[in-house]
Amino acid sequence: MASKVRINLANEQELLELPGLDSAQAAAIVRFRSQHGPIESEGALARVLGRPIGEDVRTRVDFSPSAGTAPEAPGA
């Protein structure tokens, strides 16, 4: 079983481990976190990506809050 990706801690390269995610979407996630803070739900992630979240992504995403000192997640 594949490991979970902590959406609020992962860097762009780690976000690419999510099925179907491309580099532009990974960059959008990092940019959103730096401007608005953590992504707290599947709905919020869908808005950032501009598409619905499929079951393959849903089972791999962890929305746990990030540590405030994580350099990979500025503003998260």
Q: Provide the token pair at 48.
A: 């950032």
Closest by CA position to 7, among listed 60, 43, 55: 60
Element (H, E) at 61: strand 61-62
In a domain, 45, yes or no: yes
Q: What is the pLDDT of residues 45-69, one digit of tens each?
A: 999 999 999 999 999 999 987 655 4
pTM above 0.85, yes or no: no
Range of the domain at 58: 5-62
In a domain, 9, yes or no: yes
In a domain, 67, yes or no: no
pLDDT of residue 67: 59
Q: How many domains does the chain have?
A: 1
pLDDT of residue 2: 73
pLDDT at 28 over 90: yes
In a domain, 25, yes or no: yes
Enumerate residues 6+ apart whose C-beta is below 8 A from 43: none
